[in-house]
């Protein structure tokens, strides 16, 4: 025996030492094949996600609502933002009970900004994204907001059916807040 622990019988390299290299090659091939799919601009992909950014410049100023992509380069086919006053707070009724929507629409846009001094206010959002191949993704959001003058908090509720839980309160100095819009999985909606 030559004392070379890396050589098997006949001076060949041991097969056990080759497995880590095979594993690395397989992992690299899988990553190369999956990377285009992870970055694709299809429904739910990182490049198409939409969010609502809520901010106030001062305690006495209007509340600003910005609808935009998580990244800054996604152009949407259309963005529509509707504002209305709920009849009571915290609001727990249906969207059909809300009337007098004041709509702002934008097409072929990166973002849409709406301001409101109404308190409380319900914000209804619809975003449509179409990629160059014609694939469409629709994002929606229905949120209620109330500026609590006593606690100096902005109270937020997700009002979509199956929404994300109870009301949350954000101190005004901690604004802005970022709320992800839901991917519409069924026809209709707000």
Q: Is pLDDT above 60 for 190?
A: no
pLDDT (average), residues 126-133 = 88
Q: Are residues 143 and 123 in contact, defined by beta-carbon separation less than 8 angstroms?
A: yes
State both tokens at 109.
Answer: 């846009």
pLDDT (average), residues 13-34 = 69
Q: Domain 50-183: give its CATH code.
A: 2.60.40
What's residue 188's pLDDT? 45
- Domain boundary assignment for the chain: 50-183
Bigger pLDDT: 135 or 79? 79
4 burial (CB, 10 Å; 0-12 / 13-18 / 19+) is: exposed
State both tokens at 56.
Answer: 């106030």
What's residue 35's pLDDT? 57
């Amino acid at each position: 025996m030559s004392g070379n622990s890396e050589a098997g019988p006949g001076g060949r390299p041991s097969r056990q030492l080759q497995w880590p290299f095979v594993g690395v090659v397989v992992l690299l091939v899988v990553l190369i094949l999956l990377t285009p799919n992870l970055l694709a601009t299809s429904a739910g992909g990182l490049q198409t996600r939409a969010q609502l950014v809520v901010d106030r410049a001062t305690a006495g100023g209007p509340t600003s609502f910005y609808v935009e992509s998580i990244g800054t380069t996604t152009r949407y086919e259309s963005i529509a933002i509707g504002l209305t006053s709920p009849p009571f707070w915290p609001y727990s009724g249906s969207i059909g009970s809300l009337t007098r929507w004041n709509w702002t629409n934008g097409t072929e846009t990166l973002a849409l900004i709406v301001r409101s001094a109404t308190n409380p206010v319900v914000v209804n959002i619809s975003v449509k994204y179409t990629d160059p191949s014609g694939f469409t993704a629709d994002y929606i959001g229905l949120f209620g907001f109330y500026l609590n003058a006593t606690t100096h908090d902005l109270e937020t509720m997700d009002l979509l059916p199956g929404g994300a839980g109870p009301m949350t309160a954000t101190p005004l100095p901690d604004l802005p807040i970022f709320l992800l819009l839901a991917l519409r999985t069924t026809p209709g909606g707000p």
